[in-house]
Amino acid sequence: MDFELRSAREKLEREQRERMQRAKAKADRERRAKAEAARRRDALEASNRERRLDAARAQEEADQKMEEVMQLGKGISFSHMFEALRYDGPGDKIKLPPSSFKDLSDQGALDKGPMYFSLSKVRDRVPGASPDQDAEEATCCGVLEFTAREGSAQLPSHVWNNLFQSDIPDVPLIEVRYASLPKGTYAKLKPEGMGFSDLPNHRAVLETALRNHATLSENDVVMVNYGQLQYKLKVLELKPASSVSVLETDVEVDIEEPDSVFDNEENQHVLVPLETGKVESGAVEEGKFRYYKFSVEEGVAEKVASGCANIEVKIESDTSGGDTDIYVSRHPLVFPTQHRHEWSSHEMGSKVLILKPKDATLVSGLYSVGVYGFKATAKFQLSVAIKDVIDSHRIGEQGSVSSAGNGDSVVCKNCKRHISSRTSVLHEAYCVRHNVICMHDGCGVVLRKEVAADHVHCSKCGQAFQQREMEKHMKVFHEPLNCPCGVVLEKEEMVKHQSSTCPFRLIVCRFCGDTVQAGGQPLDVRDRLRNMCEHESICGSRTAPCGSCGRSVMLKEMDIHAIAVHQKS
């Protein structure tokens, strides 16, 4: 009986424990379910709250952007995203699609004068990126025409290089916004390399380059072309704003000197100052130039023009390892080359070049000296000196007259010199045994027999040289040269071509005063008779009011107008 009661009690206790465990597990499940439901409800509320905040921020940014666009465009709202395409052209004027013209014209942008635009590169926002980093990838520009295909904007090289300074994405996207820019009053620029300040009237060269520009922006790099040379100038400061218009305005320009000469100085077109009477040492690699400059004052120029002194350029070089050539020109030809120069010397070893200007009134001024590495790396010593001329011509003439006029003389049959009749037999015997005459047509030089084999003549021009100089002469003077305009000529003809007929030659325009490329022959026959080039024919077609009658007359017709109408000589 006791056993049954104990079993029943144990069973009851076990069932109670199981019920208690099931109730506890059920309570835990209900508590966890309530907690999960509360967490999901809180997460949903947070997500909804975040979406509302994002929408509010997006609306605020859109309103702020619209306000900025309206403020930037002075009441004109134009902000579109385009695919950037590149085209070859000068200046900073872009091409937009025709739909942009309709959008702008509907808002009256055409009535507000020249149109300017602010360009910025579209990229993914990097967390923590500073606003200054975005500002570096923005610039301003004008518009050339509305002929680009829809969805794209065509950028000239200047705008493209300033906008995509580092990496270029596969599909470059830009944001174009209409902008109203103030007229510039001040600009500070800094060349990125040496040599720009050596250009004659370099400010006029910069002004000519900026004629193709409508705007300037800080941190932009402006390309300035001078013949075949290119110079980069960075815009450091602008007033009255960081982006200004340069159309129909006078801008005060300051040009800072570059920080220092780069390591590859020999690759730059830099004029090193050369003092008269002082020796300058240097080295030049094969196929490269080293440039120097010196000036001739008015007092020295008068002596040179009168024939009392000479300008002597001397270069001493070691021919054991290399060889050099020397080219000299007078400004405005700043950097003489193998094809464009006024004086040159191609002798092997040391050279002395006497400068004799064709026009005696153009002696004073700046001169440029180019030392060209003809073979290997050559070390040299360059100097310029003003040396007085010793009048020895009269002494030599008197000696020649007395010698030739001596009646007791005969002509040697071998060397053709006048010899005293008393020693003629001995002289002729010695002369025939040791001397020989060069039989080349027009030469007749008397040579020692041991050196006669080293005396050769060029088969093309007939000039006489030593055997070791012939290879250099053939390469320098008779090797075909390619002109950038497509003409192939030898050196002498190439020098004449690039100084008189090459369309890429630099001239000083008689109308605008700038140093520009001449271009080809003008279309107008009358301009060709006036010895005008293509640039002068176009530039002279601009009109200006006559100073006497006020009538608008073409610049190239102004002299004829003054003679025909006002009887001025």
Q: Inform me whether the pLDDT recorded for 400 exceeds 50.
A: no
First to last CA, the chain: 158
Q: Which residues pair with 326 in a beta bridge?
A: 345, 371
**375: β partners:** 323
pLDDT band at 190 (very low <50, low <70, confident <90, very high): very high
Instruction: Choose between 156 and 74: higher pLDDT.
Output: 156
Phi-psi region of 277 (alpha: psi -120 to 50; beta: other; left: phi over 0): left
Q: What is the mean pLDDT of residues 239-260?
A: 88
- Rounded (10°) CA dihedral 38, 41, 45, 47: 110
pLDDT band at 98 (very low <50, low <70, confident <90, very high): very high
Is the model's pLDDT at 70 over the cut of 80? no
The reported pLDDT for the residue numbered 84 is 92
- Among the residue ranges 101-115, 182-196, 379-393, the one predicted with the least confidence is 379-393
pLDDT in tens, 409-452: 888 888 888 888 888 888 888 888 889 888 888 888 888 888 88
Q: Are the C-beta atoms of 355 and 368 separated by less than 8 Å?
A: no
Alpha carbon distance 558, 546 (integer Å): 8
Residue 64 pLDDT level (bands cut at 50, 70, 90)? confident
Q: What percent of the chain has pLDDT over 90?
A: 25
The predicted pLDDT at position 441 comes to 85
Relative orientation angle of helices 467-477 and 491-500, to the nearest 10 degrees: 30
The pLDDT value given to residue 69: 59
Q: What is the pLDDT of residue 398?
A: 45
CA-nearest of 208, 302, 234, 223 to 507 is 208
DSSP code, position 414: T
CB 258 within 8 Å of CB 189: no
Local structure of 244: helix, strand or coil: strand
pLDDT score for 147: 93
Query: What percent of the chain stands above pLDDT 70?
Result: 90
Banded pLDDT at 133 (limits 50, 70, 90):
very low
Confidence of residue 263 (pLDDT cuts 50, 70, 90): very low
What residues contact residue 225 under an 8 Å CB cut-off, 6+ apart?
Answer: 209, 231
Kind of pairing, strands 93-95 and 243-245? unpaired
Lowest mean pLDDT among 45-54, 259-268, 539-548: 259-268
- Which pLDDT score is estimated for 125? 44
Element (H, E) at 353: strand 351-355
What is the Cβ-side half-sphere exposure of residue 122, based on CA atoms within 13 angstroms? 14
**Is pLDDT at 126 greater than 60 in this prediction?**
no
pTM of full prediction above 0.85: no
pLDDT score, position 405? 46
Place of tokens 């390469």: 475
